[in-house]
Structure 1
Amino acid sequence: MSSQMPPKAKKVPSERVHHGDTVIDEYAWLTVKDDPDTIAYLEAENAYTEQATAHLKPLQETIFQEIKSRTLETDLSVPSRKNGWWYYSRTEEGKQYGIQCRVAATGETPPELKAGEPLPGEEVLLDGNELAGDSDFFAIGTSAVSPDGTMMAYSVNFTGDERFTLRVRNLATGEILPDEIPGIFYGGAWSADGTAFFYTTVDESWRPYRVHRHTIGTAAEDDVLVHEETDERFWLGIGLSRSERYLMLAAESKITSEVRILEADDPAGEFRVVRPRETGVEYGVEHAGDRFLVLHNRNAENFELATAPLDDPGTWTPLIEHRADTRLLNVDAFQSHSVVHFRRDGLTGIRILPGDGEPYEISFPEPIYDVGPAGNPEFVTERLRLGYTSMITPASVYDYDLATRELILLKRKPVLGGYDPDDYEQFREWATASDGTRVPISIVVRKGTERPAPTLLYGYGSYEVSIDPSFSIPRLSLLDRGFVFAIAHIRGGGEMGRRWYEDGKFQQKKNTFTDFVAAAEHLKAEGWSSSIVARGGSAGGLLMGAVANLAPESFAGVVAQVPFVDALNTILDPSLPLTVIEWDEWGDPLHNADVYEYMKSYTPYENVDDRVYPPIFAITSLNDTRVFYHEPAKWVAKLRDTARGGPFLLKTEMGAGHGGRSGRYDAWREEALVLSWILDTAKVTK
């Protein structure tokens, strides 16, 4: 094979028959991960991508240095107070991973932060750099300190497959205890006295389906199975209430939930069900002193907040009734007040529920922004920690004083090199979809940019996930080169409430794709965009493949990261991770012919044809357990064989998972490659 020619995947016809439909899949052989031919093909694709992007090396290095030079590499987070300690994390220049620390607490006010300096009396809890060693990949799945502050449970992974090994450290002595539990999932919870730790494990389909109780100092094989979920649509998770009075064990599908509770001081006791599961009813429970708060959607599409007695938690009395224009997202309970996080008109907000006064909402000055509770582990406090950002305001941490109703800025993420938010401006536009629905678009641009300008349009549009307007240091490398950056808040996401999500799933899924195309056409029609590069990842990668089929002429290029582009074949196979769970999101094409036909009409891999496609850059990871590497590999192979245009590039991280490279410098370098490809594709080379 010439070094200038792209790899050509072999064709091995494989027949699939569903609902009387016979399909020949010539690239199904790529699903066999341990086949030497598969690895050889992926490595050949990597070599071709390396050669095809070689001319971008100088620009990639320039952008990498821009990201690095704008980032305060030695920095620390604002400490959060819990049980007599201030907890925080920090980073050090030249090191890939964060360091988790604490200092003894005195008073309600966080210690004064000094850039580049650890806090006096610092105790290092976990140093990610030491734990990672020379590994190419490293991730922490959980890090939980016991209520009395003497023990820490943490889990690590070195491959990206999201199977973690749990260890326990005695914080008083620094000793790593013999306790070691392999193959666990994210998260976990301590008992009140710190003698037991609860954790989850996964089945062969990567579904967290069991909760176990580990007694500190005993062998893992002696751990007690607390609960097993036999319904394949449900995941299990376990946590500790903010009050630390209750263990909360939740079983959740995409549309239904069921919570069990247990007094945290009785770890060997029996969990009791708050309210038996009812198909289509989702709820969450928060302990609030002499009662529970329950956030639920029973006869309340956008959710309502209810109270429930401690001895009868399944009896719900409305506290904040349902509103069609406001989606209630979460509730945090404290000793003297509660806090509701909500969404309205495409923006997030905060409502305070005082224990002895009228509810009120906190106002913020910018036209578009994102705000939410952040780092509030203490149950007894008169301050609320908030995280705030916008497309021109870097991530900011505030304390809100409930007595004075004052917002106190504790820290704004530094942006080095003279960044001035007044040099940029943000806008909210509304596109009109093909059915008349108004679709919000968030836009940021450097002042003085000549329009129409090249544009990067980002989208996701699934699982009720909202892509809120936020700040990005790497994005400045585009804006300062004359780019417009825009987010299309399309249906299938949650930006406009639960109905917005419902109208972009199941048999309405195509609304997600047509909304994105409508947003692109609006940006051009309104003089924002001269050309548009589209970008999305995971389910947003499905969006990228779908719009490339639907309207390839609308886009100058497409970046698809860990893209879910072979969705139909994946959702047809119940043995694969997540498939059965996903039937509540996409429908069940295995047992329903109508769902099969509808999915087949939009899934990217199934609909590649011989039209002219824009350049496409697909990025994946070999060890991804959420979207398998073979989905983009098959897609790119079919594009090369069937479509015109391109070029079509595939880059596979051979030692990473769904989130890509784990170290921050590695991630910056990868982002610099993507941004340099976007600039080059849009013919911006400076």
Structure 2
Amino acid sequence: MSRITTLALAGAATIALIATPGAAQSVTPDYPATRATDTSETLFGEAIADPYRWLENDVRTDPQVAQWVEAQNTVTDAYLETLPGTAWFKERLAELIDYERFGIPSKAGDRYFYSYNSGLMNQAQYFVRDGWDGEARLLLDPNQWSADNATALADTAPSKSGRYLAYAIQDGGSDWRTIKLLDVDTGEELSDEIEWAKFTGISWIGDEGFFYSRFPETGEGQDFQSLNYNQKVYFHRLGTPQSADELVYETPDAKEQGHGVGVSDDGRWAFIYSSTGTDDRNELRVIDLTERASQGWAARPLITGFDNSWSPIASVGDTVYFQTNKDAPRYRIVRADLTADALEWEEVVPQSDQPISGASIIGDRLVVEYMKDASSRAVYFDLDGKQTGALDLPGIGSVGGLNGEPGDSETFYSFTSFNQPGAIYRLDVETGERTVFAEPEVAFEPEDYRVEQVFYPSKDGTRVPMFIVRHKDSTGPSPTLLYGYGGFNISLTPGFSPTRLAWLEAGGTFALANIRGGGEYGKEWHDGGRLNNKQNVFDDFIAAGEYLKANGYTGPDGLAIQGGSNGGLLVGAVVNQRPDLFDAGNAAVGVMDMLRFDRWTAGRYWVDDYGYPDREADFRVLRSYSPLHNIRSGVDYPALLVTTADTDDRVVPGHSFKYTAALQAAELGEEPQLIRIETRAGHGSGKPTDKIIDEYGDILAFLAHHTGLEVPPAD
């Protein structure tokens, strides 16, 4: 069953040495003038000035905003070109990214589908094998879809037999999707085409057709800004126009609800998952697909009220297994007979001290994934909940995949860590036989880098884990890049990144702090960093920086910080609160205006984590940390590089535009406050490889220069 969820590479290393920050002196840039207006509004008795509100307008339709973007990029590009490390980072990133990368195969019928990138392809291709020993056959090549390579393959879903492939196309990084179909036998594209799909899965009923979710069409020019309300579920029958699609489920009296569908592997049940935001709470309804002839799309409520998380795992006959956090903040596995007159929930796998991060039924085994201090482990149970074994993993890292279905013991999974690119394995869970499907050959020695985990106290005494990665011969302080997120129940686990490897190769240290707001320790860890507890997130991150300096990982002037989206908010907030602690920062696609975030696209969903700006109690909390509203003019700030994209319709670029304008207007000392604005790149997904190399080459060179990291000369 497709899991339903709520709503994101090196040679010989140099030894880390401390250099004098700013040794290659750069001149603070002359910022472009930004028009300030007298726009202001009174909220709960407080006058809130908003002089740059005009920068909220869509850059594609407002010439003044477009001119501002061009002027800012001109200044930023000129500054970045002066930095000594830019050329080396871009050259090395191209080498580190240039290795074969395979996606985890999915099986449909006797066919195996997977993505593949030979190294420097801007977009991964999509292949199929007819049988495991069959020859790989190219089905889709997104590199041929647009001149700038910014049109990407966003999702794929083979039909039950593998005869057809539904696939979603993403253009310019947008969250909007166009769904098309392919005849896998012939490789020919069918005439079917679905528009206005967003935040959707694709769930087939056999080879007949599939469920998907869509929003109403927006007004002209509003597709990148208008709020996403009234999501509906439709069924598309193969070979018919979208106008003939059947409405399956909607909630016109509750326009804020979003809906998704998953179909059980046996084709018996369709589960409708409804949520109101990003929190791990949902309602669940079920359609018995064997009764469609008489009942149509009648959906029977299973779970009502948005109190807990309920995710179907798989069905075995009339019995369906679920993962839930009801009465179990770290999750448990339960089951019920869905044909019974009254549902009776039976616990199969109880909650433990380690949160459950996922589960599947593969063959006759229940495979449950756990998180142990933000690292993966996987345990086998029989279908009655008796533990029968565990998956042997090489150490600290993250597992992906482990999907399957009852009656078929074959599965695939990946394992990755900070110093190990994702190797993919084929596994028979019944026999334990494991073979390598793909093991990348990379341009560095993984053994040259060591991964350690430390635990440090936050401001309130909470014990917080942090991963630290360094060259094995590094002993003294070195410029350090600290990364964090802290929100939306998202767990940061070990994973390989060419950009981080380039930083390590240049002599730096990388640290990842598993701060509150994430899901590393279950619901309590998430709740401890959201709503009126949001300050804990910032305290945890500040404490991580203090730990790194106090314990000699980095020197007094060598700490850079980075975060994206909610992590961009994190960077903006902690820089306001402790500008003395950090020496450089990259705030990427951040949520910077906490008083207006809920006015665009998906922003309204985030009230689960942030609260409602129009409710006074929440407003007071949001006002206290909003990056835009707490810039401290007259205080020396670290060097900041804000990054965003003109087509980001998740966190609209107006957040970053207004924040940068306010930074540049304030008196923040001599360090630069710059913004880098990418074109046709969106929130991050689908970004072509050449843009990734160019962007991260700039970011790393900026952070290196302002932390004193001495970058090797370019060839």
Q: Shared topology, TM-score over 0.5?
A: yes
Match of 2:440 among 407, 413, 417: 413
2:348 paired residue number: 319
1:80 CA drift (Å) = 4.1
Conserved? CA contact 2:583–2:639, under 8 Å: yes
Encode CA deviations 1:630-668: one digit per residue, 9 max, x unaligned: 111111111111231230111111322111772122212
Once residues 536 and 683 of structure 2 are traced to their aligned partners in structure 1, the CA distance between those partners, rounded to angstroms, is 26
Match of 2:272 among 249, 266, 282: 249
Encode CA deviations 1:307-336: one digit per residue, 9 max, x unaligned: 10031484311112233x221222212341
AA aligned to 2:169 is: V
Which sections of structure 1, spanning at least 5 residues, go unmatched? 112-119
2:268 maps to 1:239: no
Match of 2:510 among 455, 471, 485: 485
Conserved? CA contact 1:245–1:264, under 8 Å: yes
AA aligned to 1:503 is: G
Once residues 661 and 340 of structure 1 are traced to their aligned partners in structure 2, the CA distance between those partners, rounded to angstroms, is 30
Q: What SS does structure 2 have at the residue aligned with 1:45?
A: helix
1:405 CA drift (Å) = 4.0
Q: What SS does structure 1 have at the residue aligned with 2:647?
A: coil
Question: Residues 329-478 of structure 1 correspond to what in structure 2 (within 5 A)?
Answer: 329-355=357-383, 358-360=386-388, 362=390, 364=392, 368-374=396-402, 376-405=403-432, 408-416=435-443, 419-478=444-503
2:595 maps to 1:577: no
Aligned-pair identity (%): 27
1:356 CA drift (Å) = 7.5
Which sections of structure 2, spanning at least 5 residues, go unmatched? 1-26, 217-225
1:618 paired residue number: 642
Q: What SS does structure 1 have at the residue aligned with 2:421?
A: coil
User: 1:442–1:69: structure 2 CA closer, same or farther, 3 Å change rule?
Assistant: same
Once residues 266 and 619 of structure 1 are traced to their aligned partners in structure 2, the CA distance between those partners, rounded to angstroms, is 52
2:155 maps to 1:142: yes
AA aligned to 1:168 is: L
Q: What SS does structure 2 have at the residue aligned with 1:278?
A: coil
Question: Residues 266-277 of structure 1 correspond to what in structure 2 (within 5 A)?
Answer: 269-277=296-304
1:409 CA drift (Å) = 4.1
Conserved? CA contact 2:230–2:255, under 8 Å: no
Q: What SS does structure 1 have at the residue aligned with 2:466?
A: strand
Encode CA deviations 1:249-306: one digit per residue, 9 max, x unaligned: 2112324212223345666732433523223221111223121011112222222211
CA RMSD of aligned residues (A): 2.4
User: 1:390–1:361: structure 2 CA closer, same or farther, 3 Å change rule?
Assistant: farther
Relative to structure 2, which stretch is displaced further, 500-509 or 298-307? 298-307
Relative to structure 2, which stretch is displaced further, 232-241 or 25-34? 232-241
Encode CA deviations 1:459-482: one digit per residue, 9 max, x unaligned: 000001111122222322211222
1:428 CA drift (Å) = 0.9
User: 1:221–1:559: structure 2 CA closer, same or farther, 3 Å change rule?
Assistant: same
Encode CA deviations 1:374-406: one digit per residue, 9 max, x unaligned: 4x3454322442221222222122344434446
Question: Residues 535-554 of structure 1 correspond to what in structure 2 (within 5 A)?
Answer: 535-554=562-581
2:113 paired residue number: 87
User: 1:183–1:78: structure 2 CA closer, same or farther, 3 Å change rule?
Assistant: closer
Relative to structure 2, which stretch is displaced further, 403-412 or 230-239? 403-412
User: 1:49–1:357: structure 2 CA closer, same or farther, 3 Å change rule?
Assistant: closer
Number of residue pairs aligned between Structure 1 and Structure 2: 663
Encode CA deviations 1:154-204: one digit per residue, 9 max, x unaligned: 222323322222222222333322222222125443543422222111255
Q: What SS does structure 2 have at the residue aligned with 1:612?
A: coil
Conserved? CA contact 1:288–1:335, under 8 Å: no
2:624 paired residue number: 601
Relative to structure 2, which stretch is displaced further, 304-313 or 452-461? 304-313
2:612 maps to 1:588: yes
Q: What SS does structure 1 have at the residue aligned with 2:548?
A: helix
Encode CA deviations 1:497-544: one digit per residue, 9 max, x unaligned: 221111000111000001000011011111111121000000000000
1:114 paired residue number: none
Question: Residues 162-311 of structure 1 correspond to what in structure 2 (within 5 A)?
Answer: 162-203=175-216, 204-207=226-229, 209-230=231-252, 231-253=254-276, 254-264=279-289, 269-290=296-317, 291-311=319-339
1:116 paired residue number: none
Once residues 586 and 434 of structure 1 are traced to their aligned partners in structure 2, the CA distance between those partners, rounded to angstroms, is 21
2:95 paired residue number: 69
Conserved? CA contact 1:613–1:643, under 8 Å: no
AA aligned to 2:703 is: I
Please give the TM-score of this superposition, normalised by the length of structure 2: 0.88
User: 1:134–1:399: structure 2 CA closer, same or farther, 3 Å change rule?
Assistant: same
2:701 maps to 1:676: yes
User: 1:500–1:190: structure 2 CA closer, same or farther, 3 Å change rule?
Assistant: closer
Q: What SS does structure 1 have at the residue aligned with 2:231?
A: strand
AA aligned to 1:536 is: G
Looking at both structures, which has the greater relative contact order when contacts are Cα pairs under 8 Å and sequence separation is at least 6? Answer: 2
1:489 CA drift (Å) = 0.7
Once residues 422 and 173 of structure 1 are traced to their aligned partners in structure 2, the CA distance between those partners, rounded to angstroms, is 45
1:75 CA drift (Å) = 5.2
Q: What SS does structure 2 have at the residue aligned with 1:555?
A: coil
Once residues 238 and 191 of structure 1 are traced to their aligned partners in structure 2, the CA distance between those partners, rounded to angstroms, is 10
